[in-house]
Amino acid sequence: MTPRTAVDTAAGVRSGSLRAADVLEEHLARVASREAEIHAFNLVTQDAARARAADIDRRVAAGEDLGPLAGVTIALKDNLCTRGVPTTCSSRILEGWKPPYDASVVERLAAAGAVFVGKTNLDEFAMGSSTENSAFGPTRNPLDTSRVPGGSSGGSAAAVAADFATVAIGSDTGGSIRQPAALCGVVGVKPTYGAVSRYGLIAFASSLDQIGPFTHTVEDAALLMEVISGHDARDSTSIPQPAMQLRQELGKGVEGLRIGRITDLPAGADPGIMARLDAAFAALEAQGASIVDVQVPAFTYGLTAYYLVAPAEASSNLARYDGVRFGMRVEAPDTNAMYSATRAAGFGDEVKRRIMIGTYALSAGYFDAYYGKALKIRRLIANDFAAAYAKADVLLTPTSPTVAFELGSKGDNPLAMYLCDTYTIPTNLVGHPAMSVPFGTAELGLPAGVQIMAPTLGEPVMFRVAAALEEAAK
């Protein structure tokens, strides 16, 4: 059965032909039947969701227009602050903490009529590519529960793929929306840096983090982007522009667009993944686009630059978790011992690894050799992308180099795990938008995603290409 889309759900609830309560119960029934094996959620807020759905139905019956997401069920990644609801980042150090405010994105979704189903599992503090680094246990891929859903937003991707919620929200620091979207066979969008407010997103790496949607369709992703984008004075990095209008772009086709093929793309993707990418180029060319070869020489250095920049920012951002102001505290004889004991008990291995790497890279003796050099590489990548976008309107790459891999298969090899983000990281470093669209299957019949990348605020043309790929995939 094809899941009901957000567009159709909201239209039905607003017209009175669907009840928000019935929509919610359909999703909660699926949660009840499969959540134990998948573990998409850290918390299912069913009582609050039922009260919210009932209120929406009452207000619709009274003649109110509840907005473009009326009655649409949404799962929220557990690093988005929600007032009075435990928000843990899947870390022991924040276990039980209840924020006193809502993230801006949560406010905007609520104002549009959404119903929040729960908080989804993630790699601890969004550090990982498999959702195996959660303090509360791994999430499994609904399409094959012996495999990972990707990460760090694996719980959000799994919630949509299993139809536990119509749509979900995740965050993307180096591919954490797009890679799990590809592995779970759904649409995932990382917007332009600053296009969506980060206020209330618990920070991992502040110059890289972005919030975006997981959906079953490109049209639903466009709708979600219209709701959550736009300027927010509470986020100093927010771009001063109104919310995007993207659904109007979807039917324009790709005739005349220039689709860039990166000829010096880093190797390493499975043959089946590359075959799907070639098929995507062919499908777009058949619809009237022209395929142009471009080079992005510094693309290959994205991974190494990222794993200095992101840990450096993480070591700074995570310094606040010291057992004093919020979250867990391990009692000790003096303050310094309490800091040490709390952080040792509260953080998992991957978080500790990245804090140590970042602290080392920022230390006085090594700053120029590591962090400073990584920033120079970041600038080179931006320059190379600018040259490529002078020749092409969008660029296409694989989203992930492989299909969903088996649970535990990369856990003992951090480098192998980091390589999962080879194709997604460069756009985070330069702040450009990118999205993953399902485009058939590769090895073992598992989903393959094609990544569409565009220049800053190039979401309109990016969504045009996404809609064309989605139509071709049918």
pLDDT of residue 232 exceeding 80, the answer is: yes
Catalytic residue among 104, 134, 152, 238: 152
Instruction: State whether residue 375 is helix, strand or coil.
Output: helix
Helices (H) and strands (E) in the chain, counts: 15, 11
pLDDT of residue 104 exceeding 70, the answer is: yes
The pair phi, psi for residue 271, each rounded to 5°, is -55, -40
CATH class of the 6-249 domain in this structure:
alpha beta
Predicted confidence band of residue 54 (pLDDT cuts 50, 70, 90): very high
- How confident is the model over 366-371, as a mean pLDDT? 94
Fold matches, 6-249 and 258-300+380-473: yes
pLDDT of residue 1 exceeding 80, the answer is: no
Asked if 472 contacts 278 with a C-beta cutoff of 8 angstroms, the reply is no
Q: Which fold has domain 258-300+380-473?
A: Amidase signature (AS) enzymes (3.90.1300)
Instruction: State whether residue 374 is helix, strand or coil.
Output: helix
Instruction: State whether residue 125 is helix, strand or coil.
Output: helix
What does the block give as tokens for 349?
């291995």
Does the predicted TM-score (pTM) go above 0.95? yes
Q: Give the β-pairing of 115-120 and 73-77.
A: parallel
Asked if 281 contacts 291 with a C-beta cutoff of 8 angstroms, the reply is yes
pLDDT at position 326, please?
85
Nearest 5°: CA angle at 348, between 190 and 419? 45
pLDDT at position 381, please?
98
**Looking at per-residue confidence, does 95 or 311 come out higher?**
311
| The amino acid at 412 | D
| DSSP-derived secondary structure for 283-336 | HHHHTT-EEEEE--GGGGGHHHHHHHHHHHHHHHHGGG-SSSSSS-----SSHH
Instruction: State whether residue 172 is helix, strand or coil.
Output: strand
> Residue 226, Cα to own-chain centre: how many angstroms?
16
Instruction: State whether residue 453 is helix, strand or coil.
Output: strand
Asked if 141 contacts 161 with a C-beta cutoff of 8 angstroms, the reply is yes
What does the alpha-carbon distance between residue 138 and residue 402 come to, in Å, rounded to a whole number?
19
pLDDT at position 435, please?
98
Could you tell me the residue ranges of all domains in the chain? 6-249, 258-300+380-473, 304-368
pLDDT at position 415, please?
86
- Looking at the chain, the whole-number percentage of residues with pLDDT higher than 70 is 100
Q: Give the β-pairing of 290-294 and 115-120.
A: unpaired
What does the block give as tokens for 16?
């009175």
pLDDT at position 96, please?
83
Asked if 10 contacts 69 with a C-beta cutoff of 8 angstroms, the reply is yes
Q: What is the pLDDT of residues 121-164, one digit of tens each?
A: 999 999 999 999 999 999 999 999 999 999 999 999 999 999 99
Residues 6+ apart with CB under 8 A from 136: 39, 42, 88, 90, 121
Q: What is the gyration radius of the CA atoms in the chain, in angstroms? A: 21
Predicted confidence band of residue 95 (pLDDT cuts 50, 70, 90): confident
Annotated catalytic, 77? yes
Asked if 421 contacts 310 with a C-beta cutoff of 8 angstroms, the reply is no
* Helix or strand run (H / E) with residue 218: helix 218-228
Q: What is the pLDDT of residues 258-303, one digit of tens each?
A: 999 999 999 999 999 999 999 999 999 999 999 999 999 999 999 9
What does the alpha-carbon distance between residue 380 and residue 357 come to, in Å, rounded to a whole number?
23
Rounded to the nearest integer, the mean pLDDT of the chain is 97
What separation in angstroms does the CA of 49 have from each of 19, 132, 133, 270, 319? 13, 28, 28, 42, 34
Q: What is the pLDDT of residues 381-409, one digit of tens each?
A: 999 999 999 999 999 999 999 999 999 99
> Residue 223, Cα to own-chain centre: how many angstroms?
16
What does the block give as tokens for 270?
């499975």
Predicted confidence band of residue 414 (pLDDT cuts 50, 70, 90): confident
Q: What is the pLDDT of residues 299-348, one digit of tens each?
A: 999 999 999 999 999 999 999 999 998 889 999 999 999 999 999 999 99
What does the block give as tokens for 312?
């450096």
Annotated catalytic, 33? no
Asked if 98 contacts 65 with a C-beta cutoff of 8 angstroms, the reply is no
What does the alpha-carbon distance between residue 463 and residue 469 come to, in Å, rounded to a whole number?
10
Catalytic residue among 77, 119, 190, 410: 77
Q: What is the pLDDT of residues 157-200, one digit of tens each?
A: 999 999 999 999 999 999 999 999 999 999 999 999 999 999 99
pLDDT of residue 245 exceeding 90, the answer is: yes
What does the block give as tokens for 357?
């790497």
| The amino acid at 393 | D
| The amino acid at 346 | G
> Residue 412, Cα to own-chain centre: how many angstroms?
24
Q: What is the DSSP letter of 192?
A: P
Catalytic residue among 90, 129, 176, 436: 176
